[in-house]
Amino acid sequence: MKWTCILALLLLPAQIFGQMWLSREDTYFFAATGVDIRNATIGGTVNDASYDGTFSLGYRNVNFSILAYYETFKGIRYESLGINPGFLLRPGKKLIPAADLSLSIIRRPWKTYPSLAANTRIEYHFDRFFVYCRGEYRWRTDYDFFQVSVYGGIAIKFGFN
């Protein structure tokens, strides 16, 4: 319930100001899934190669972006969820750079921790979907260090005007 209220409050300005922005074709919702590429292929600093996946729902209105995500990594008993407000450069183009800030929590079996991350992303857009590569610089408050991760994934667009 708490996350629903936060998401609604963050989406409200986008809806109000979205009517004033440029193109309706650059306004859409999306659902995405991705995987940590290093963890999936060679493993990480504390784990062998295994699945570390993300699932997200988001909203775009020209340059504004917001998404809510969930990450699960059973190999190290790690979960993370959060909200990422962000900014898109070159909306409406095929190749779109983006950046956002992740306001999140990390859940481990022994405790839940607040966390922050900075993300940069490059997306290649098709009519109804896009593929992406995302770099993340996360403050791992469960271990008190910064970690760099690279994710790849796909997103489906829906709710076009």
Structure tokens at 5: 């209220």
What fold does the segment set 2-158 form as a domain?
Answer: Porin (2.40.160)
**Span 97-123, pLDDT tens digits:** 999 999 999 999 999 999 999 999 999
Residue-level pLDDT at 47? 84
Residues 6+ apart with CB under 8 A from 33: 53, 54, 55, 56, 153, 154, 155
User: Shortest CA distance to 146 belongs to which of 136, 155, 156?
Assistant: 136
What is the 8-class DSSP label of residue 161?
A: -
Give the pLDDT score at 23. 52
- For the chain, the first-to-last Cα distance in angstroms comes to 28
Q: Where are the domains of the chain?
A: 2-158
Q: Check the CA dihedral 121-102-51-125 and report its sign.
A: negative
- The pTM (predicted TM-score) of the whole model is 0.81
The set of residues, in sequence order, having a beta carbon less than 8 Å from that of 18 and lying 6+ positions away, is: 27, 61, 62, 64
C-alpha closest to that of 141 among 82, 75, 69: 82
Question: How many Cα neighbours within 13 Å face the side chain of 146?
Answer: 7
Residue pLDDT, tens place only, 44-93: 877 889 999 999 999 999 999 999 999 999 999 999 999 999 999 999 89
Give the rounded distance of the alpha carbon of 149 from its chain centre.
Answer: 13
- CA pair distance 45, 47, nearest whole angstrom: 6
